[in-house]
Chains A and B, each alone.
Chain A
Amino acid sequence: MSSQLEDRRRDRDRSPGHDHPPDYSRARRRQFTWLAVGIVGITALFVVRAITAESSALALPDKAQDFLTLSISVIVESMPFVILGIVLSIAVQVWVPDSWIMRVLPRNPFLRRAAISFIGVFLPVCECGNVPLARGLMVKGFTVSESMTFLLAAPIINPITIITTHQAFGWDDGILVGRIVGGFVIANLIGWLFSRHPHQDSLLTEKFARECRVPDAHAHGTTRWQESVALFRRESSVILPALFIGAVAAGAIQSFVPRSVLVSLGSNPLWSILAMMLLAFVISVCSNVDAFFILPFASTFMPGSIVSFLVFGPIIDIKMLALLRTTFTVKTLVQLTVVVALLSALIGLVVNYVA
């Protein structure tokens, strides 16, 4: 409410002494004013970009330039998936009928979580896009633990990831099977663990928990389109700064820590697993393509450590933690990271000794 008042006050400051036209046409004019502001802003960005493109005076020293290139590359690569995730989240929250999702899922909590693990099959979004989608699902009535199961399973149990992993490794050494089964088991185990928590809301950041409690906005007489656009604005305000920070952290570590440090940890069954998980944490590549990324290392590292990389990486890495922090408390994320790390290492060890 207060913002409306402030807006009105600001309006008056801008055009002192003008007489008040009917609310409707004024609102219309304001709409077009803002649209003009938006279009001018975007055009200005294009113009500045085109002008500065060739000016070598703005080029940075090598190290700084590479840091910027790497950070931008993380952002540009994740952005389409984030946008897709936000769009799907809008679809789930605004356009899909309330009861539909809840009705098709089984009632029994174990079966329900198992079914949720397979949502990724129909919505093949990368892990960064899953965060806004999971937020949408929670607003729509998913419990916190169910949304965690979704977040953990969807990046691994989805057609694109399975196809790329199969392309990279075939059926060799149980890597593909280890990844799918491992991802499914971890997601359901985590879902069960967190479902035991007596106060589900306390797992969430206060801001997001409040958002979940807000009643349906239809009641306020806004249209679905207005609601969709508002949701887009809100979700991007939350997700984008987090993505930028994640990208900067990933870029900085990439440009300042030699990768040979990780690789030299070698072929010891345990150390190679830890090295691979550390690499997955640092590199922050999407689950859809991480199999190609890790394939070249397959000759130097044991198969179990590859599985650990492929199970741990999609769920926990620098970029994901920054994104998840928008929704979960630090305590929850620390618990999540520790449990997922231990389980991925365990699965890796099993594969190392069996294969």
Chain B
Amino acid sequence: MSPNLLRFVQRWRGVALMSVVVVATIWLAVTNQLILYIHPRYVVFTVIMAVVALVFVASSAFLREPHDHDAPPTRRQNAVSGAAAVLSLAIAVGLIVVPPATLTSATLEQRAINDGGLTGDQGQSVEAVASTTDAAFASFTVLDWSSLLRQTTELSVFSDKPVDVVGFVSADPDDPENMFFVSRFIITCCAVDAQPVGVPVYAPDWADDVAVDQWVRVTGGFDTNPSSASDQAVVVVPDAVEVVDQPGEPYLY
């Protein structure tokens, strides 16, 4: 690289990267997809700071200082910042060009479903659901059911309760032919801390009808698990498994 170009890159790389992030952020916020990356409570703050940065970016093009104190970089610095530039550029292109997406079952396998535990105010407690009506049960999410399943495997708590949940499909690691999980990620801050939760479903040869990562709506009721290979004591035996569109808010909180 010629020294001029190098100096130019060194001067403007920050502003360029900032523009990319800010444009991507604002676009995600406008199209309601920022929640694919961060918890909804940060959306307003993030957008405000993005607009502040946008003002600075525009002014840095307008108010260029007449001279600068940037020292010419050494050869080693050049090599390091060259590598950094390539890496940053790749991510920047990803930010602008690759369609935004939710986390997939690849991350779910990485993190072991229903493993992380939940906080007190997430999901439901066994005592509290003793007086819950059927209509309320039907609106229970994957998170609600999985939090109950974690507390007890007593069938009497679950039997005769209507199940109607939406989530993506991930295979049960112990009995992948007969069982899958209706799964969701729960988020406390951003996608980095996503933890998978899921409700086990017993449906032999499910792979013929639905694929891993496909979004489905499962209706049915709980019963003792017929599968001997799986650790799950209580599972959903579905009346219907229908393929649905990915919901606007794919994560639960």
A residues touching B (Cβ–Cβ < 8 Å)? 1, 3-4, 6, 10, 30-32, 34-35, 37-39, 41-42, 45-46, 48-50, 52-56, 58-60, 62-63, 65-66, 68-77, 79-81, 83-84, 87, 168, 207, 210-211, 214, 220, 222, 225-227, 229-230, 232-242, 244-245, 247-248, 250-251, 254-260, 263, 283-286, 289, 292-293, 295-300
With A41-B19, A225-B63, A233-B12 in contact, do A73 and B101 touch (Cβ < 8 Å)?
A: no
Name the residue among A48, A81, A211, A293 with the largest chain B CB count within 10 angstroms: A293
With A70-B191, A222-B65, A258-B112 in contact, do A80 and B14 touch (Cβ < 8 Å)?
A: no
In the complex, whether B94 has a CB less than 8 A from a CB of chain A is yes
Q: How far is the CB of B55 from chain A (nearest CB, A)?
A: 10
Q: Given known contacts A10-B4, A35-B58, A222-B65, what 5 new A-B pairs fall within 8 Å (CB)?
A: A31-B63, A71-B91, A73-B192, A233-B14, A251-B192
With A42-B19, A239-B14 in contact, do A77 and B115 touch (Cβ < 8 Å)?
A: no
Determine the chain B residues whose CB is within 8 A of the CB of A4 once the complex forms. Answer: 66-67
With A4-B67, A58-B97, A232-B60 in contact, do A237 and B13 touch (Cβ < 8 Å)?
A: yes
Determine the chain A residues whose CB is within 8 A of the CB of B128 once the complex forms. Answer: none
Q: Is the CB of A62 within 8 A of B104?
A: yes
The one of A45, A207, A295 in contact with B119, judged by C-beta atoms closer than 8 angstroms, is A295
With A3-B68, A76-B34, A254-B110 in contact, do A244 and B17 touch (Cβ < 8 Å)?
A: yes
Distance, CA A103 to CA B45, complexed state (A):
33
1/0 per residue, CB under 8 A from A, across B38-74: the answer is: 1000100110111011101111111111111111000
Q: Chain A's interface: helix, strand, loop or mixed, by majority? A: helix
Determine the chain A residues whose CB is within 8 A of the CB of B107 once the complex forms. Answer: 66, 70, 254-255
Determine the chain A residues whose CB is within 8 A of the CB of B189 once the complex forms. Answer: 77, 285-286, 289, 292-293
Determine the chain A residues whose CB is within 8 A of the CB of B13 once the complex forms. Answer: 237, 240-241
Q: Is the CB of B15 within 8 A of A80?
A: no
Identity of the chain A residue whose Cβ is nearest the Cβ of B91 in the assembled complex: A244
Per the 8 Å Cβ criterion, residues 103-123 of B in contact with A are 103-107, 109-112, 115-119
Q: Is the CB of B99 within 8 A of A229?
A: no
Identity of the chain B residue whose Cβ is nearest the Cβ of A284 in the assembled complex: B192
The one of A52, A75, A238, A256 in contact with B97, judged by C-beta atoms closer than 8 angstroms, is A52
In the complex, whether B79 has a CB less than 8 A from a CB of chain A is no
Q: Is the CB of B213 within 8 A of A62?
A: yes
B82-90, B137-145, B176-184, B215-223: which lies at the interface? B82-90
In the complex, whether B10 has a CB less than 8 A from a CB of chain A is yes
State the 5 A-B residue pairs at the shortest beta-carbon distance, nearest first: A236-B14, A38-B61, A237-B14, A80-B49, A73-B191
Distance, CA A346 to CA B188, complexed state (A):
28
In the complex, whether B193 has a CB less than 8 A from a CB of chain A is yes
Distance, CA A37 to CA B194, complexed state (A):
39
Q: Is the CB of B62 within 8 A of A214?
A: no
In the complex, whether B152 has a CB less than 8 A from a CB of chain A is no
Q: Is the CB of B99 within 8 A of A52?
A: yes
Q: Is the CB of A38 within 8 A of B192?
A: no
Distance, CA A255 to CA B102, complexed state (A):
14
Determine the chain B residues whose CB is within 8 A of the CB of A37 once the complex forms. Answer: 61
1/0 per residue, CB under 8 A from A, across B7-34: the answer is: 1001111110111111111011001001
In the complex, whether B95 has a CB less than 8 A from a CB of chain A is yes
Q: Is the CB of A42 within 8 A of B54?
A: yes
Q: Is the CB of A296 within 8 A of B118?
A: yes
The one of A58, A79, A259, A300 in contact with B49, judged by C-beta atoms closer than 8 angstroms, is A79
In the complex, whether B36 has a CB less than 8 A from a CB of chain A is yes
In the complex, whether B96 has a CB less than 8 A from a CB of chain A is yes
The one of A50, A214, A225 in contact with B69, judged by C-beta atoms closer than 8 angstroms, is A214
Determine the chain A residues whose CB is within 8 A of the CB of B50 once the complex forms. Answer: 79-80, 83
Determine the chain A residues whose CB is within 8 A of the CB of B15 once the complex forms. Answer: 233, 236-237
Q: Is the CB of A245 within 8 A of B84?
A: yes
Distance, CA A255 to CA B77, complexed state (A):
29
